[in-house]
């Protein structure tokens, strides 16, 4: 198809966004009227979360459109996973400097990948002229009263995560240094983890009946563990020796891998707490070995980082993080 030199807003929406993702019986009206109209199934609550990414702040200028679209949607969906919600539909506010046909085509394909995989239609939004900014609102359904929150952790709970930690943070370090097209295998793996995080929707649904508290790790393990600690009015103890690290991260960063796992953001893995009994049940079903126990909920406040705590009564105290404003103690 020849590239139209300049698309109107209506043409742009028609070509790239209308009908993006599969049809859903819950969507009465999609793109094309003043509002989208949705029916929430009986007995379900609606979960919603908005996420914004700005060029030059959340991704590098000139980053590939398909990758940033996929990443932005995955990051937003991660909030649905953290609540144990089933994705239902999403909206997009796309601000862009010009209506570049090729860029838009790749951008919409990036969204489409996840939209089709998760039966997650685009139902509305806005397109405007301005500095490249992507705001997505994702919506999902949970059974009424069965939503996972940050505030439900119980004293004695196991603390666990999905996947591996620190990969995306290490990818960002790579992106700021080298040409991403020419990097060895480990770097490619980390970059893939950065650009194409897996929304842990399946795990969120699995955890819904078992976990007491859950959050997605977007700001880094310590910062997000702090949110659970604060909202649950308890302490989250993390054992450094137990953090799940990818081979790629270890080979790229060596001793620094732990620091990326603790503080690197953008992993979009889930951090959750549950009773020991439920944990045993979860582990039995975990054929992919996606879940790793990394600590315990205890009386107190903030995040306590230890070494060897799992294998002895106390372990060596490494740090106590009381608020997200800073470390109280680090040695």
The count of chain residues that interact with a copy of itself, using the rule CB under 8 A, is: 62
CB 269 within 8 A of CB 214: no
Residues in 13-32 at the binding interface with a copy of itself, rule: CB under 8 A: 28-29, 32
The neighbour count for residue 312, using CB atoms within 10 Å, is 10
Query: Does 119 help bind a copy of itself (rule: CB under 8 A)?
Result: no
From 64-72, 92-100, 256-264, 297-305, give the range in contact with a copy of itself by CB under 8 A: 92-100
DSSP string, 240-281: GGG----HHHHHHHGGGHHHHHHH-----EEEEEE-HHHHHH
Does an H or E element contain 327, and which?
strand 326-330
The reply on whether position 80 binds a copy of itself by CB under 8 A is yes
CB of 171 to a copy of itself, least distance (A): 20
Q: 2, 130, 176, 255: which one contacts a copy of itself (CB under 8 A)? A: 130
Within 209-248, the residues that bind a copy of itself by CB under 8 A are 214-216, 231
Give the tokens for residue 17: 């966004």
The nearest distance, CB 192 to a copy of itself, in angstroms, is: 24
Interface with a copy of itself in residues 31-70 (CB under 8 A):
32-40, 42, 45-58
Distance CA 105, CA 108 (A): 5
Q: Let me know if 117 is exposed, middle or buried by CB neighbors in 10 A (0-12, 13-18, 19+).
A: middle
> Measured between alpha carbons, how far is 148 from 85 in angstroms, rounded to an integer?
8
Give residues 134-173 in contact with a copy of itself (rule: CB under 8 A): 135, 137, 140, 142, 144, 147, 149-151
- Applying CB under 8 A, which of residues 18, 98, 116, 126 lies at the interface with a copy of itself? 126
**Count of beta carbons in the 10 Å neighbourhood of residue 93:** 16
**Binding region for a copy of itself (CB under 8 A):** 8, 10, 28-29, 32-40, 42, 45-58, 78-80, 82-83, 85, 91-93, 95, 123-126, 128-131, 133, 135, 137, 140, 142, 144, 147, 149-151, 214-216, 231, 324-325
């Amino acid at each position: 198809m020849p590239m139209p030199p300049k698309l109107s807003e209506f043409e742009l929406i028609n070509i790239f966004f209308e009908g993006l993702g599969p049809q859903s019986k819950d969507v009465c009206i999609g793109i094309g009227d003043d509002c989208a109209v949705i029916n929430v199934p009986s007995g379900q609550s609606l979960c919603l979360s908005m996420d914004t990414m700005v060029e030059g702040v959340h991704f590098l200028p000139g980053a590939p459109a398909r990758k940033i679209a996929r990443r932005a949607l995955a990051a937003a969906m991660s909030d649905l996973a953290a609540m144990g919600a089933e994705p239902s539909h999403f909206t997009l506010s796309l601000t862009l400097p010009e209506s570049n046909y090729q860029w838009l085509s790749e951008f919409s394909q990036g969204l489409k990948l996840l939209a089709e995989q998760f039966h997650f239609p685009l139902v509305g939004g806005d397109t405007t002229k301005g500095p490249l900014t992507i705001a997505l609102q994702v919506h999902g359904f949970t059974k009424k009263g069965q939503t996972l929150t940050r505030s439900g952790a119980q004293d004695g709970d196991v603390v666990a995560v999905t996947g591996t930690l620190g990969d995306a943070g290490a990818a960002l370090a790579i992106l700021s240094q080298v040409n991403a097209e020419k990097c060895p295998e480990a770097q490619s793996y980390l970059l893939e983890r950065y650009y194409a995080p897996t929304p842990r929707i399946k795990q969120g649904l699995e955890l819904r009946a078992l976990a007491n508290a859950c959050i997605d790790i977007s700001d880094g393990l310590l910062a997000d563990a702090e949110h659970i600690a604060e909202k649950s009015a308890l302490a989250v103890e993390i054992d450094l020796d137990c953090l799940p690290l990818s081979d790629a991260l270890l080979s790229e960063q060596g001793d620094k891998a732990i620091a990326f796992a603790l503080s690197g953001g953008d992993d979009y893995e889930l951090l959750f707490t549950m009773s020991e009994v439920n944990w045993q049940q979860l582990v039995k079903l975990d054929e992919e070995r996606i879940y790793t126990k990394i600590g315990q909920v205890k009386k107190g406040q903030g995040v306590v980082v230890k070494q060897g705590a799992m294998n002895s009564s106390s372990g060596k105290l490494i740090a106590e993080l009381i608020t997200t404003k800073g470390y109280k103690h680090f040695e």
